[in-house]
Amino acid sequence: MSYDHPEFAGSKIHAKVLRPKDSATLILVRRDRGSPRILMGQRAGGHAFMPNKYVFPGGRLDSADCRVKPARDLHPATMAKLMARMRGRPTETRARGLAHAAVRETWEEAGLLFGRPKVEQAPDLSGLTLFMRAITPPGRTRRYDSRFFVADAEYLANIDDPHHDGGGELLTLSWLTLDEIASLDLPLITVDALQRLKPFLDQGQLPAHDCPASFQYYRGRNWIEDTISL
């Protein structure tokens, strides 16, 4: 499918085409009390990229992310999807780095420890599922090649005791149902991710490691909705 995505249609265009920066996002789902709830945070109003929007924790891949040796590796299906259609030379090291970026950013932005009891310990990456990927179109002030991971919040060591003082990139943190999230100011790509996740949550499930991952990007003037599958 192709069309001009409304999130980017009419937005400011720059003559210089920036190379997309690898980034990773973590959609955490809490299923311990009634309806599933998802961790959301509000970005500060002074940010150049998506100010005031409610988002999942996430951010850019750092070179150090690729040097972390996990306590438990990614599920083979998640690894395969990460390497499929990877820009440049596909490597398992970069795939693990992307997963670790999602875990690290969750700690830095939300104060939550995923897959490890202490921040200095290597994380367990086996609970992460690649669910979606999206690349910001050319000509925008920020461009990201974002991987969206989904995981059960049971992998958090300090789920009810986050080290978050509201002074970071995400000002507020809340565990919210889909109905509660619907009233928030969300980026359209976040809305899209939640709509794709809803059928799984309605059935009391999370996506399996080998589920097809939505892959969205611009080709010319058209927004392409593709799929990464095994």
> Class for domain 2-228, per CATH?
alpha beta
Instruction: Give the count of alpha carbons within 13 A of 175, CB side only.
Output: 17
141 or 206, greater pLDDT:
206
Look up residue 25 and give its two tokens: 């996002």
**Predicted pLDDT at 18:** 80
According to DSSP, residue 203 is labeled T
Cβ neighbours of residue 179 closer than 8 Å, sequence gap 6 or more: none
- C-alpha to C-alpha distance for 35 and 43, rounded to whole angstroms: 25
pLDDT tens digits, residue range 90-101? Answer: 999 999 999 999
Q: How confident is the model at residue 48 (pLDDT cuts 50, 70, 90)?
A: very low
pLDDT tens digits, residue range 13-45? Answer: 455 668 899 999 999 999 998 899 999 999 765
Alpha-helix runs per DSSP H in the chain: 76-83, 92-110, 178-181, 188-202
pLDDT tens digits, residue range 155-205? Answer: 999 999 999 765 567 888 999 999 999 999 898 899 999 999 999 999 999
The overall pTM is greater than 0.85: yes
79 phi/psi in degrees, rounded to 5:
-60, -45
pLDDT of residue 218 exceeding 90, the answer is: no
Share of the chain above pLDDT 90, in %: 73
The mean predicted confidence, pLDDT, of the chain is 88
- How far does Cα 69 stand from its chain's mean position? 21
- C-alpha to C-alpha distance for 138 and 82, rounded to whole angstroms: 22
**Predicted pLDDT at 1:** 36
Look up residue 162 and give its two tokens: 């986050």
Residue type, 39: L
Inter-CA distances, 86 with 22, 75, 94, 145, Å:
10, 17, 9, 10
- C-alpha to C-alpha distance for 40 and 55, rounded to whole angstroms: 6
